Amino acid sequence: MLHSEIVIVGCGNPLFGDDGFGPAVIEEMEKLTLPDNVTIQDGGAGAPHFIFNFLNPEVTKKLIVVDIADFNGKPGSISRISGKDLKPGAYIDPHSWDGIDQLCRIRDQIDTTVVLCQPSKVLKKGDADVDMELSEDVKNAIPKAIQVILETIGVDYGTTINLQEEGRQPGTAKICGSPESS
Amino acid sequence: MSKVVEISPTTRHEGHSKLVLKVNDAGIIETGNWCSITPVRGVEKLAVGKTPEQVPKIASRVCGICPIAHNLAATEAMEASIKCEIPKDALMLRHILQLANRLHSIALHDILILPDLYLPGTETKINPFTAEEPVRTVAKRIQRLREIGQTIGQIAGGDCIHPRNTRIGGMYRNCSPLAKTKMYDLAKEGLVLAHAQMDLMIAILRNYQAREHVDVGGMKVALPKTLGYHNQGYLATHAFYGSSSLDECPSWDINRFKEVRPWDWYMGEMDVTLEEPRYPIGGTTKLGTKVNPQMEACTGIPMYDGQPVEVGPRARLAVYKGYDEKGTVGQNIAREMEYTDSLYEMIDCIDALNTDGKVVADYIPDGDGTLGWASNEAPRGTDVHLARVKDWKVQYFSMLVPTTWNFATCSAALTGAPWQLAEVIMRGYDPCVSCATHMIVLDEDNKVVAQKLIQ
């Protein structure tokens, strides 16, 4: 696969409300000029079997996964955890391979970081409809997530605050698990 | 007296489905219902009012396995509605992208079916994840084939999962000569591996077919020679790629298609009267559980000429190449034969690609509301998308995806098999259930009477 030293993958399905956070962060990051050793990828619903199990530790040294997770935070809060802290998931089958399980298999060879956003509304399987809109809280968290990602990969892009749309209240997104919040 | 056994959820495929089987005293299936229990997604409703550029991107998100087929079928359905012909080099890039996706998908299916099969000459079922030889070498080859497919797809489509290079009217960018060479090199490497993998898989499948008995969860089950046989017809719209309403001779006819309600087709409410705790994984559904396939099924039943049909690799080979082997083994072998077919065709397409050629149509109309359709021969079969575009807004969009076609056909193919092998038959269709789930009900005059969401 055409991966580089640093791979950033946004996971989630934009059809399920805030689950589209990962792809939305990648879409925003495409506007940035990033170093040549950085690949950004919209993993959609297929990152576990299309990306994670094709990463070559001889090429890729750092992996950042962007997703949503319920960690009892305020909606739009960002949390960054190391891949080493992930608990092994269960392998079911390759078509519905748990992403966490795959990350646990590669984390010892590739420095893995997971950047998570607390969702405010996620459509679940069983909901009759689909919704392509991110909630306001989660949309506002995109610049913050990008800052955290850039910090993690050691890119000083100045500030990403100007990525925020005009009129958006700064400070609505908070980071958990970083020195800033403690 | 008939007993009812339920296998839920079925495993080693994408999405959620189950098998409800009415079996005789010898455990042979009298009536089998394979139905999707993946909840309905209202993608088609969401598409209305969007621009034609947005809808293929939405369509590609319904599934994490075959987004490329959905993206291409939706794009071409829009083009069919607005009557936009795309340049030849754009078409070549789309062909390469689609064949790359197929290569990856066949390799993935090998991983899914290997645990049902035996290492020839032994009584050992194959665990594709074992570190032991000779399986390790095979697993690495499968992984390399998947990687080759995905990398070629990434070059031609701009992204390996949700392709971003496709657009209404063609493709955003052509490849560089260097990228063309890279794709060619990868395809040549893949061809050698695909030949070896196809030969091995066919040998393993023939070995399975020759067995008298197979083991399922410690149960010794007699293997019928007619495993997975059915008498339904085949539907394929192209040997490799697809067709559309813009074609001079379209190979799919909307007037021959009709979708009926599952409650006319599936069995009604019953109690589970046979439970087998030894069945992998975790046993079958508990005794006394109420099952109701009629109401639990989340798909309609599509018909072509009034009958369910099979779509997929065997259908393509049967319609276009005279392939005639029935049954589950015949179906899996047909899929293996598509390994090399897809790479030979891909190499031809790469050869034919002019990297200096234009890839966007000179004129892209806004659409006058004409109903257009496009089919794409996805790895699992014919994926038909229908669209109506007027003034650059989508008025109507519908997806008729491969596994939806196969639900009723596979249900028919279950009859006569031991119930313990029902999942083996189902896996022969390489089901991808998530995107198969939608429901449109037509009356006898083919008018939509309900778009029912079963909660």
Q: What is the pLDDT of residues B81-129, one digit of tens each?
A: 999 999 999 999 999 999 999 999 999 999 989 999 999 999 999 999 8
Average pLDDT, chain B: 90
- pLDDT tops 50 at residue B400: yes
- Which is nearest to B121 in space by CA: B134, B112, B108? B134
- Considering only CB atoms, which chain A residues are within 8 Å of B144? none
In chain B, how many domains are there? 1
d(CA A1, CA B145): 11
Considering only CB atoms, B65 lies closest to which of A95, A127, A130, namely A95
- pLDDT tops 50 at residue B444: no
State how far the alpha carbon of B268 is from the alpha carbons of B131, B295, B297, B334, in Å.
Answer: 46, 8, 11, 34
User: DSSP letter string over B368-422?
Assistant: EEEEEEEEEEETTEEEEEEEEEETTEEEEEEEE-HHHHHHHHHHHHHTTSBGGGH
Q: Are A47 and B108 an interchain contact pair (Cβ–Cβ within 8 Å)?
A: no
User: DSSP letter string over B27-53?
Assistant: SBEEEEEEEE-SPP--HHHHHTTS-TT
Average pLDDT, chain A: 79
Q: What's residue B100's pLDDT?
A: 96
* Residue A38 three-state SS: strand
Q: What's residue B310's pLDDT?
A: 96
Confidence of residue A176 (pLDDT cuts 50, 70, 90): low
Over the stretch B135-187, which tens digit does the pLDDT of each residue have?
999 999 999 999 999 999 999 999 888 899 999 999 999 999 999 999 999 99
Conformational region of residue B166, where left means phi above 0, alpha means psi within -120 to 50, and beta covers everything else: beta
Percent of chain B scored above 90 by pLDDT?
A: 74
- Considering only CB atoms, which chain B residues are within 8 Å of A47? 161
Over the stretch B182-230, which tens digit does the pLDDT of each residue have?
999 999 999 999 999 999 999 999 999 999 999 999 999 999 999 999 9
- pLDDT tops 60 at residue A135: yes
Q: Which domain holds residue B293?
A: 3-450
Q: Are B14 and A95 an interchain contact pair (Cβ–Cβ within 8 Å)?
A: yes
Domain annotation covers residue B10: yes
Element spanning A103, H or E: helix A99-106
Per the model's pLDDT, the better-predicted residue between A176 and B375 turns out to be B375
Q: What's residue A130's pLDDT?
A: 65
Q: How far B207 CA lies from chain A's nearest CA (Å)?
A: 24
Domain annotation covers residue B455: no
The pTM is what? 0.87
Using beta carbons and an 8 Å cutoff, which residues of A are at the interface with B? 1-2, 13-15, 41-47, 49-51, 53-54, 92-96, 125-130, 132
Q: Are A125 and B39 an interchain contact pair (Cβ–Cβ within 8 Å)?
A: yes
Q: What's residue A174's pLDDT?
A: 52
Confidence of residue B41 (pLDDT cuts 50, 70, 90): low
Domain annotation covers residue B60: yes
Q: Are B13 and A93 an interchain contact pair (Cβ–Cβ within 8 Å)?
A: yes
Give the N- to C-terminal CA distance of chain A in Å, as an integer. 39
- Considering only CB atoms, which chain A residues are within 8 Å of B45? 129
Instruction: Find the CATH number of the domain harbouring B370.
Output: 1.10.645.10
* Residue A65 three-state SS: strand
Domains and CATH numbers, chain A: 6-181 (3.40.50.1450)
- Considering only CB atoms, which chain B residues are within 8 Å of A19? none
State how far the alpha carbon of B395 is from the alpha carbons of B78, B227, B390, in Å.
Answer: 11, 44, 7
Amino acid at B416: G
Q: What is the mean pLDDT of the segment spanning B253-264?
A: 86
The winner for highest mean pLDDT among A117-131, B23-37, B383-397 is B383-397
Considering only CB atoms, B161 lies closest to which of A14, A44, A53, namely A44
Q: Are A46 and B151 an interchain contact pair (Cβ–Cβ within 8 Å)?
A: no
Classify strands A6-11 and A62-68 as parallel, antiparallel or unpaired. Answer: parallel
Q: DSSP H helical segments within B114-220, as ranges?
A: 135-157, 177-209
- pLDDT tops 90 at residue B329: yes
The two three-digit tokens of residue A8, written as one number: 């950033």
Q: What's residue B455's pLDDT?
A: 24
Percent of chain B scored above 70 by pLDDT?
A: 93
Q: What's residue A13's pLDDT?
A: 84
ipTM for the predicted complex comes to: 0.74
d(CA B151, CA B165): 14
- Considering only CB atoms, which chain A residues are within 8 Å of B17? none
Give the N- to C-terminal CA distance of chain B in Å, as an integer. 33
- pLDDT tops 70 at residue A166: no
Q: Are A51 and B46 an interchain contact pair (Cβ–Cβ within 8 Å)?
A: no
Q: What is the mean pLDDT of the segment spanning A98-110?
A: 80
Q: What's residue B435's pLDDT?
A: 54
Whether the CB-CB separation of A176 and A71 falls below 8 Å is answered with yes
d(CA A148, CA A154): 10
Classify strands A62-68 and A111-117 as parallel, antiparallel or unpaired. Answer: parallel
Over the stretch B11-40, which tens digit does the pLDDT of each residue have?
887 767 889 999 999 999 999 999 876 655
Confidence of residue A70 (pLDDT cuts 50, 70, 90): confident
The mean-pLDDT minimum among A43-47, A58-62, B82-86 falls in A43-47
